[in-house]
Amino acid sequence: MSTRWKEDLVRLGQLGRPSRRAAYSREDLDASMGVFRMEGTAEMRESRQYIIERMREAGLDVRLDRIGNLFGRMEGEDPKAPVVMSGSHLDSVSNAGMFDGAAGVAAALEAVRTMRDERFTPRNPIEVCVFMGEEGSAIPEACVGSQVLAGVRRLDEALDLKTAQGSRLGDLLAASGHVGALMPGLDDVGWFVELHIEQGPVLCSEDTPVGIVESIAGITYLVITIEGEENHAGSTPMRLRRDALVAAARVISACDQKARAFAESGDGSAVATVDCCTVLPGAPSIIPGSVRIGIDIRDGSAGTIRALRRHIEAVLGELEKDYGFRTTTEIVMDYPPVELDQRVIRMIESAASAAGLRARRMASGAIHDAQSIARKVSTGMIFVPSVRGVSHSPFEWTEWNDLEKGIAVLTGTLKRLSRSDLEGEPAGTLRGGGDAH
Ligand code: HGY
Ligand code: MN
Ligand code: MN
């Protein structure tokens, strides 16, 4: 197999780093090697442009839709057959690793370049896709591009989403030059497969090269504001205080304890993270009057997510009733868990076994664009190992030989999905009608 996919990933890593330093091995990483590709930034524009150029070099027909999703299409024998789509995202969280999202884009591109080199002609068209805004780093909601594509979020509402600085997403995308006239839609798509790094410790600890995702956790993200009373830190007796930070600390520890209890009593997938905390006025000798925290709750069961949220709301109710705090809770994200398609799972298993690779079924604790797409189209995911399970960190790493194995399994899966005469389930049946995609 060619190593051009490795060059693509090294280059994308450079384009996302202020230092532009290249990382060819895990030893090249240090704390300053974080990647940050956010929608609306030069790094994002250059990275997407880099993939557009590689798609064109590969002879793909390149299109962009109105929310900034990018598609590179390889025609099949039957242009009306359901599209087989594969890809991921290029945007990243801040101070990120170089594989989250980018690995799935590079893998999908490499799969079609391999088919072209082998003169493999698919029956179904195959499309490499790059979803806009998976991480929600520019705007406070994740997977916006794939949700609009799947029709689970309105295009006009998405384009009006605002960044923390008040810029409108539609204006950011227009300024980047990476939006097109294509109406987002999946009516002509039959299958979707996303390769992604596991971002967890399972595959690495078991020395298993391939993960086959059966389900993706749901997520509820809350922004909670607690208003107490700003006052003098020296002259205000403890019994007269309404210290918003002490109240927030109670919410944070109650949330952590409950999540641990659910994790211990369940399958361990329940997690809750307080990932930001703003204290006002946050100045010496002043009792904090107001605190704002963000809470990320996830699990494979929507019921557990609801129970965790209810527990947090009960603690907030006590703070209001017993201690006179005022609180508000904003639900920023509330995405349900999804089960992926057993036919695609079997197809991935067949491709892994044909490649002589050990694979294991598993759940995803991270959310992905596949979650949105699976609401409309038969979807599967392939995981490749993350070294020490580390992700969303400059030290995120996947060994090249593991990625090579993942790409081989993705290529075999896309071949099976795009030719009904290969073993396994027949190629996709058209879902819906029309050609809005
Ligand atoms: O947060 C996540 O699970 C993903 O990386 N957006
Ligand atoms: Mn991520
Ligand atoms: Mn990701």
Each residue of 170-197: pLDDT tens digit? 999 999 999 999 999 999 999 999 999 9
Nearest CA to ligand 1 atom 6: 135
Residue 292, H or E segment = strand 290-299
Section 309-315 average pLDDT: 98
Compute the Cα dihedral for 34, 39, 45, 51 and give only its sign. positive
Instruction: Inform me whether the pLDDT recorded for 432 exceeds 60.
Output: no
Please work out, in degrees rounded to the nearest 5, the angle formed at the alpha carbon of residue 259 by the alpha carbons of 258 and 264.
100
Query: Relative to the CA of 392, which ligand 1 atom is closest?
Result: 5
Closest listed residue to residue 125, CA positions, set 58, 188, 175: 188
Do the Cβ atoms of 365 and 198 come closer than 8 Å? no
CA of 119 to the centre of ligand 2 (A): 34
Section 60-73 average pLDDT: 98
Instruction: Inform me whether the pLDDT recorded for 307 exceeds 90.
Output: yes
Query: Relative to the CA of 134, which ligand 1 atom is closest?
Result: 6
pLDDT tens digits, one per residue of 253-299: 999 999 999 999 988 899 999 999 999 999 999 999 999 999 999 99
Question: Quick one: what percent of the chain has pLDDT higher than 90?
Answer: 94
Residue 318, H or E segment = helix 302-323
CA of 295 to the centre of ligand 1 (A): 14
In this prediction, residue 304 carries a pLDDT of 97
Do the Cβ atoms of 176 and 40 come closer than 8 Å? yes
Buried b (16+ CB within 10 A) or exposed e, 329-346: eeebbebebbebbeebbe
CA of 358 to the centre of ligand 3 (A): 23
Instruction: Inform me whether the pLDDT recorded for 348 exceeds 90.
Output: yes
CA of 316 to the centre of ligand 2 (A): 30
Q: Which two tokens stand for residue 355?
A: 């490649």
Mutation test residue for ligand 1: of 147, 298, 392, the one with most atoms within 8 Å of CB: 392
The single-letter code of the amino acid at 18 is P
Question: CB of 135 closer than 6 A to ligand 1?
Answer: yes
The single-letter code of the amino acid at 21 is R
Ligand nearest to the CA of 396: 2
Residue that the structure tokens 């006239």 belong to: 181
Nearest CA to ligand 1 atom 3: 366
Query: Relative to the CA of 199, which ligand 1 atom is closest?
Result: 5
Instruction: Inform me whether the pLDDT recorded for 39 exceeds 90.
Output: yes
Ligand nearest to the CA of 96: 2
The larger pLDDT score, comparing residue 427 to residue 244, is at 244
Do the Cβ atoms of 83 and 126 come closer than 8 Å? yes
pLDDT tens digits, one per residue of 210-258: 999 999 999 999 999 999 999 999 999 999 999 999 999 999 999 999 9
* pLDDT bracket for residue 125 (50, 70, 90): very high
- Residue 241 DSSP code: -
Ligand nearest to the CA of 364: 1
Closest listed residue to residue 270, CA positions, set 309, 223, 313: 309
Question: CB of 142 closer than 6 A to ligand 1?
Answer: yes
Do the Cβ atoms of 44 and 38 come closer than 8 Å? yes
The larger pLDDT score, comparing residue 420 to residue 9, is at 9
CA of 100 to the centre of ligand 3 (A): 5
Beta bridge partners of 278: 292
First to last CA, the chain: 31
Question: CB of 370 closer than 6 A to ligand 1?
Answer: no
Angstrom distance (rounded) from CA 398 to CA 391: 10
CA of 392 to the centre of ligand 3 (A): 9
Beta bridge partners of 358: none
> Count of alpha carbons within 13 Å of 27, Cβ hemisphere only?
0
Angstrom distance (rounded) from CA 92 to CA 193: 20
CA 173: distance to chain centroid?
Answer: 19
Angstrom distance (rounded) from CA 431 to CA 25: 43
> Count of alpha carbons within 13 Å of 187, Cβ hemisphere only?
10
CA of 103 to the centre of ligand 3 (A): 9
Q: Which two tokens stand for residue 430?
A: 């058209």
pLDDT tens digits, one per residue of 224-235: 999 999 999 999
Question: CB of 91 closer than 6 A to ligand 1?
Answer: no
Query: Relative to the CA of 219, which ligand 1 atom is closest?
Result: 3
CA of 137 to the centre of ligand 2 (A): 10
* pTM score: 0.92
Question: CB of 15 closer than 6 A to ligand 1?
Answer: no
- Residue 161 DSSP code: -
CA of 343 to the centre of ligand 2 (A): 26
Query: Relative to the CA of 365, which ligand 1 atom is closest?
Result: 3
Other Cβ atoms less than 10 A from the Cβ of 46: the count is 15
Helix (H, G, I), strand (E, B) or coil at 357: coil
Q: Which two tokens stand for residue 184?
A: 């987002």
Q: Which two tokens stand for residue 212?
A: 């086959």
The single-letter code of the amino acid at 169 is L
Angstrom distance (rounded) from CA 144 to CA 151: 10
Instruction: Inform me whether the pLDDT recorded for 122 exceeds 90.
Output: yes
* pLDDT bracket for residue 420 (50, 70, 90): low
Closest listed residue to residue 70, CA positions, set 92, 96, 34, 44: 44
